[in-house]
Amino acid sequence: MTAATLLVEIRTEELPPKALARLGQAFAEALRADLARDGLLAESSALAWFATPRRLAAQLTQVSEAAQDRKIEVQGPSIKAGLDAQGAATPALQGFARKNNVSIEALEQADTPKGRVFIYRGTARGVALADVLAGKVAAALKALPIPKVMRWGSGEAEFVRPAHGLVMLHGTRVIPGTVLGLQSGNTTLGHRFLSTGPIAIAAADDYEQVMRDQGRVVVSFAARRASIAQALGKASGEAAFEKDDALLDEVTALTEAPVVYEGRYSADFLEVPPECLVLSMKQHQKYFPLVDRASGKLLPRFLVVSNLETADPANIVHGNERVLRARLADARFFYDQDRKTRLDERVPQLANVVYHNRLGSQLQRVERITALASKYAKALGAEAPPVERAARLAKADLSTGMVGEFPELQGIMGRYYALHDGEPPIVADAVRSHYRPRYSGDAIPESVVGAVVALADKLEMLAGLFGIGQVPTGDKDPYGLRRQAIGVVRILAESRLPLDLDRLADDAFGVFDVAFKLKPAQPELMAFFFERMRGYFAEAGYSGSEIDAVLSLSPTRVDLIQRKLEAVKIFNTLSEAPSLAAANKRIGNILKKSSAAAAGFDAALLVEEAEKRLFGTFSSIRTAADAQFDAQDYAGNLTALAALKEPVDAFFEGVMVMAEDTRLRDNRVALLAELQQTMNRVADISKLAT
């Protein structure tokens, strides 16, 4: 069968930029998988995907014009299910024969692990590429992750954007077919302004080069992205551009022939907080701000990625400068106006801002956060006044013009306005940092004041929403509660705050007035926290069994969990660990079946040498092990258990725990109960048993 490179291109109106790369890659991979299923691809076939604002394309090498015939074997019903008592074919067997277009006599029988069955052996004719390609392209487009589709013209075709051209080229031959109401061909269009007229693709292998030379389009998303990054670096000169992968992806998706120009704005705008200026440039205009390499301070310059290369870019640069000037003037206006009203004067205005229709206003929320932060500060022995002040002001910037325009600046602007009002820096910093961590990898609050307010903020939200049944389900988490819970875990663990999570959650539920009618959801919330901990500590490098061993005891001092995990990791390296873990598991099984442990242990009832020896060794390490646990020397506590290996092994080999004498049986069970209690104070080491 003749093999050649296959090219498929769908030309459209401007595609959604933030989804472009995902759409391009998904289309190409779906097409490749479908072709491979029908045997039209060689094993060494290579895939290239292309995506520009006005096209999605896939190029696959070594695609056959027809697949080879192949032997098939289809398993049918069992002999018992296929034949009745008289040996006649049952409806099940008749249906199986019809499905495979053969007579019952043509079916064979074969032995399988499940018994003797009917099978059909035959030859499947290989499909021709020309017969199936259009259907496969349509199926790949239909399977794209597109939330909404649209129709255009008078046809019935649906896609994310109106489609205007279709190329299906195998080698140099056009594969005829219709997709989205479009007849296939070998012509396309290039850059909207830099290219004129249709462009003929003579051969599928020439696509990328022809589009670059004749169409003035860089069709490869990856190549375009790399060229933009290189151009940004070159254009920034002695300065540095603000690196932003998401913005780089977006400008790549907005251009077909990118070129970078530099613009400038008045240095007077630098009086506005840099976060405001950067957000105006990036979010509204898709510009890259420039900063001083040495100081990191913002410069009154920016880089714009244009889709139009010209010998004299003055008009393009001046146009972008004019638009940005208006944006920055708006930011400066908001900043000047906001500072005319103190933050503490804005707090009462939060009564007019709804937090949640079942949980009251933002002012009510602030009052709960303040009360909660005060309790947490007291538990830590921290100074209450700065904590309470920071909590009181934490949400005040929600009523400012700047945060109304840029919600992403909440907390950030609060800090600037707090400092302007003369608030202590520790309070202002806490206003900003109480939202942290905002995302994976974000920093946690640096000060105790910030950490306490952050905990209060996150736990108040978790308690309130769990209390009214707004719990994340599946992949739906509209309030970001998983992120909030991870934030609580991170703050407690990484700041090593000696606070009990269960008590923190109890206090959080307690700050809600009974009028809100919260249901008792604390057990549900704690289970939610433990699920987040499993993921958090797994990312930190601990194994599933190590995490299970520690978390199965439901520890609520998160600051101590990592130390316990380290201790378990060390214990697991001991040669005695497997034996002790297995013995611990055996002890647990014995205790589940007996209530004798409640009777108490009496050393005078020990009669066997092995149980006396076990008790002696246990007694010799118990006091030290308990002291090590109390001193939070968890590694030392678990390592001390190694001395129990031999006497425990000897005990199970030489002593009948379930003796006929009930006094001996109950006493041995009680000894094992005390042994297990000491062994499992740091972690349930039976979870380490394989």
Residue 346 lies in a domain: no
Provide the 8-state DSSP code for 282: I
503 & 443 share domain: yes
Structure tokens at 572: 């697991």
Question: pTM value?
Answer: 0.82
Give the pLDDT mean for 473-495.
94
- Kindly report, residue by residue over 240-280, the tens digit of the pLDDT: 998 899 999 999 999 999 999 999 999 999 999 999 999 99
- Kindly report, residue by residue over 302-316, the tens digit of the pLDDT: 999 999 999 899 999
Residue 12 lies in a domain: yes
Structural domain of residue 164, as residue ranges? 3-67+128-213
Quick one: pLDDT at residue 595?
64
Instruction: Compute φ and ψ for 119, nearest 5 degrees.
Output: -135, 155
Residue 144 lies in a domain: yes
Structure tokens at 301: 């310059």
Q: Which of 129, 114, 149 is nearest to 41 (CA)?
A: 129
CB crowding 470-497: b at 16 or more within 10 Å, else e: bbbeeeeeeeebebbbbbbbbbbbbbeb
- Kindly report, residue by residue over 274-305, the tens digit of the pLDDT: 999 999 999 889 999 999 999 999 999 999 99
Among 213, 242, 276, give the residue marking a domain's end. Answer: 213
Number of domains within the chain: 5
| Residue whose tokens read 């140099």 | 172
366 & 448 share domain: yes
Residue 266 lies in a domain: yes
**pLDDT value at 326 more than 90:** yes
- Kindly report, residue by residue over 8-32, the tens digit of the pLDDT: 999 999 999 999 999 999 999 999 9
**pLDDT value at 511 more than 90:** yes
SS3 612: helix
Give the pLDDT mean for 195-202.
95
118 & 132 share domain: no
What is the domain-level CATH number for residue 682? 1.10.730
Quick one: pLDDT at residue 306?
96
Residue 555 lies in a domain: no
Q: Is 145 exposed, middle or buried (0-12, 13-18, 19+ CB in 10 A)?
A: exposed
Residue 376 lies in a domain: yes
Instruction: Compute φ and ψ for 113, nearest 5 degrees.
Output: -55, -25
587 & 640 share domain: yes
CA distance 75 to 82: 12
Quick one: pLDDT at residue 599?
63
Give the number of other CB atoms < 10 A from CB of residue 272. 21
63 & 83 share domain: no
Quick one: pLDDT at residue 689?
85
Look at the alpha carbons of 566, 571, 574, 578 in this order and tell me if their dihedral is positive or negative. negative
40 & 167 share domain: yes
Quick one: pLDDT at residue 596?
52
